[in-house]
Structure 1
Amino acid sequence: MKKFLMVLALASVSVAGMAQDELTEKYSVATNSFWSNWFVQANVAGTAFYSSQERDLDLSKSPLKDFRNNLGLSVAIGKWFTPGLGLRTKVNGIWGRTVDGDNAKDNASKYWQANEQVLFNLSNMLCGYNPDRVWNFIPYAGAGIARNMSYNTYAMGLQAGLLNEFRLSRKFALNLDLSYGIHEPDFDGNGFTTGNGKPSIKSKDRDLNVEIGLTYNLGKATWNKVPDVDAIRALHQSQIDALNAQLNDANAENARLNNLIKNHKCPEATAPVTVKEVAAAPVSVFFNIGKAKVASKKDLVNLKALAEVAKDNDKTLVVTGYADSKTGSANYNKSLSQKRAETVKKELVKLGVAENKIEVVAAGGVNDITPVSYNRRAVVTVK
């Protein structure tokens, strides 16, 4: 039995390892709504049964013996609460064996068992979330109840296993599910045990399952990347520094011209001369994928500084909206970039900039900045 389990586990890891992607981008994800990341599964199962009463019968332990194994079915529904942690409710059974001897026909029985299981996606936990990963390695553990319909008995049990999911598309995955269950002696309909009666694994009814089937992801099956706050903050700070430097240069030039006029005692100059030509660094406002709502209100701090420059110097601001060309069609990205530009225009109006002093441009989808999330933005410049 132990050797068989080890062979199955090694075969699973070996085959799946060849299909696994080599590089995975690690990043944090945003929490989805309760109705996202649900899935359903359906499998064909091969099960080998080990009864508590066979301890002293000296029967072959091979799970391939016909008096010990049978085919069955399983269905499950579950949800991922994070990329690495989920819950699954699973029901399997129909055709079983009560191993009282080596006669397959005499051992036949019918049963079902229901388990609640906790899933741990170690691929996402250890390697980082990747929606395009080919193989996900998912150990699980759970508990539940079983009923032997042929003998009208119930039993509690524990189960642990390994779910291997091979990605076919964003909606479908191929399952290879290996599990081992330990149950009360009534699981197979025969509640008595043989031997000295001391508690041991052999005093329990057990089952070994190998299942193959499909997973179907319901609704939204992926997770959105959280914007890199540190990178965005650094970008904003560099823009602020550039803007402050330009303002300082403009103020110094203003003071120089005023001092020049004062020294020459120009009678026509009754007021300080103000330089109207101001070069200001563009300000970027970032958005989450597919959204036209500002990702971080901190972006508006930089927007306010640029709005003040435009008002003080009677300048026109140009708001250019962009979208990520790797996501969505060209028409969709054109519309999304327009909405993003309009969102920023509304914020500028709130900051006191007149609407006739704001121009809006929809640039559509682009891919000119790395990482790709930086392309989901609107850029404000002084005209």
Structure 2
Amino acid sequence: MKKKLILLAMSFFCIAGFAQSQEKSLKQYGFWDNWFIQGQAGIGYTIGEPDFDKLISPTAALSIGKYFTPYAGMRLQVGGWQGRAGWDWKNENYSWNYAAVYLDGLFNMTNIFCSYKENRGFNLYGIVGVGYNHGFKNSPNALASDNCVARIGLQPSFRINEAWDFNVELNGNAVSDAYNSKFGSENDFYFNLMVGFTYKFKNRGFELIRPYDEALVNSLNDEINQQRATIESLKANPKTIVKTEKVFVTDTVSYFNTPVLFTIGKSAVGVNQEVYVYTVAQYLKENPKAKITITGYADAGTGSKAINQKISEKRAKAVANELVNKYSISSDRIKVIEGKGDSVQPYSKNNWNRVVICVAD
């Protein structure tokens, strides 16, 4: 009964943490984000006949890897140093050097079982990997050998700061029987216990951000539709002068702007925003002397200034490319394609500023 209560309590806290995390979503990351380098050193142990202390040897490893999600990553590791074995009946010990290359999958057990939490102080990683081990002669009894390796392990990791972690790793490795130069019918095994440090490169970790507010987007779309209706009514009476915040038409020149909204972290035009690009294209076709300025923006509530500047430029180029490639608008009809990043916020509501505004004259 007591065990059931403990398990029930653990499940409750994990589910509560998961539900809380769902209020936000993970920020989008690219290929070059969340890379790391890791250096480790410690002791190795090869299973054999002699006493335990006679089989302990030095080991070290250097790894480079990437976390694809808060739950999983991969690393390429180069490791090795020395292995030891002996003949118990001869009372003779010997050693050899080895070098190995491993490809490991890394699984964040803490995030998997208790949901993701930003800047968590402790994470436990599970390791499953394969590799290649080359042992080379280093004493009279140790022969050169080549072995495929299967490995499993655990790595507790302690956060020092945003860039650095301290880790402890225990892994077990299965190799062929030739590894320790003593031939038989069963596999050999060696274990590594190492400590080290992990340095994480730019855009470290996985940031939780609030997704866009659908109600706000719908409100903005309603406003756009109202202004489109105003434009159509003004076309029926072009000499009427009407001034609003976003539209005014005179008998000589017509001005308007059309926003194209984007989801957070994205620079591709969404399917539900195609109509607004189409509206711009139709206006340009109906007004062959008109030209447009395309300006992209990013909201100041998420991301860094550098990232926001880059994504605003991508958004502006995406709208321009649709006009040219999809609707056959000549590129010389586009006066300017620019990104303002988050330095300018055209709307008072943060979520509305993930937008490209096309201003035509």
TM range (shorter): 0.5 to 0.7
Q: Secondary structure at the match of 2:182?
A: coil
Q: What's the CA shift string for 1:183-212, capped at 9, x where partnerless?
A: 3232223225xxxxxx6xxx4322222111
1:50–1:68 contact (8 Å) kept in structure 2:
yes
The answer to whether structure 1 residue 109 and structure 2 residue 90 are counterparts is no
Superposed, 1:40-119 pairs within 5 Å as: 40-51=37-48, 53=49, 65-80=52-67, 84-101=71-88, 107=93, 109-119=95-105
Question: Within the alignment, does 1:364 sit opposite 2:343 as a pair?
Answer: yes
Q: Please point out which of 160, 165, 170 is paired with 1:173.
A: 165
State the match for 1:302 in structure 2: 276
Query: 2:5 — aligned with what?
Result: none
Give the superposition deviation at 1:179. 0.8
CA distance in 2, matches of 1:43, 1:145: 18
Question: Greater share of strand residues, 1 or 2?
Answer: 2
> Structure 1: 5+ residue runs without aligned partners?
1-16, 60-64, 193-198, 256-271
Q: 2:199 pairs with 194, 207, 216, which one?
A: 216
Letter in structure 2 aligned against 1:27: L
CA 1:133/1:100 → structure 2, altered by over 3 Å: closer, same or farther? Answer: same
Q: Distance in 1 between matches of 2:276 and 2:29?
A: 25
With over 3 angstroms needed to count, the CA separation of the structure-2 counterparts of 1:141 and 1:376, relative to structure 1, is same
**What is the match of residue 261 of structure 1?**
none
Q: Distance in 1 between matches of 2:181 and 2:314?
A: 65
Contact 2:309 2:339 in 1 (8 A): no
The answer to whether the 8 A contact 1:30-1:224 is kept is: no
Quote the Cα distance in structure 1 between the aligned partners of 2:338 and 2:199: 46
CA distance in 2: counterparts of 1:90 and 1:186, whole angstroms? 23
- The AA in structure 2 aligned to 1:211 is M
Change (3 A) 1:204 1:253: closer
Matched residues, number: 316
Residue 245 of structure 1 and its aligned partner are, at CA, apart by 3.8
* Matched-pair contact (CA < 8 Å) for 2:298–2:341: no
Does the Cα contact within 8 Å between 1:337 and 1:363 map onto a contact in 2?
Answer: no
SS in 1 for 2:125: strand
- 1:304-319 matches, cutoff 5 A: 304-305=278-279
**Separation in 1 of the partners of 2:120 and 2:242?**
53
Match of 2:255 in 1: none
The alpha-carbon distance between structure 1 residues 369 and 71, as it changes in their structure 2 partners (threshold 3 A), is farther
The gaps in structure 2 that reach 5 residues or longer are: 1-13, 248-257
- Aligned residue among 139, 144, 148 for 1:153: 144
1:332-372 deviations in Å (ceiling 9; x for gaps): 6997699689769968997799889999988616696566x
> Is residue 121 from structure 1 mapped to residue 81 from structure 2 by the alignment?
no
Q: How does 1:272-291 map to 2 (within 5 A)?
A: 275-277=240-242, 279=244, 283-286=259-262
Write the distance in 2 (CA, Å) between the matches of 1:226 and 1:21: 15
The one-letter code matched in structure 2 to 1:147 is G
CA apart distance, 1:75: 2.1
Letter in 1 for 2:275: V
Cα separation, 2, equivalents of 1:79 and 1:357: 38
Q: Which residue among 135, 138, 162 is the counterpart of 2:125?
A: 138
- The equivalent residue for 1:260 is none
Q: 1:244 aligns with which of 208, 211, 225?
A: 225
SS at 1:187's partner residue? helix
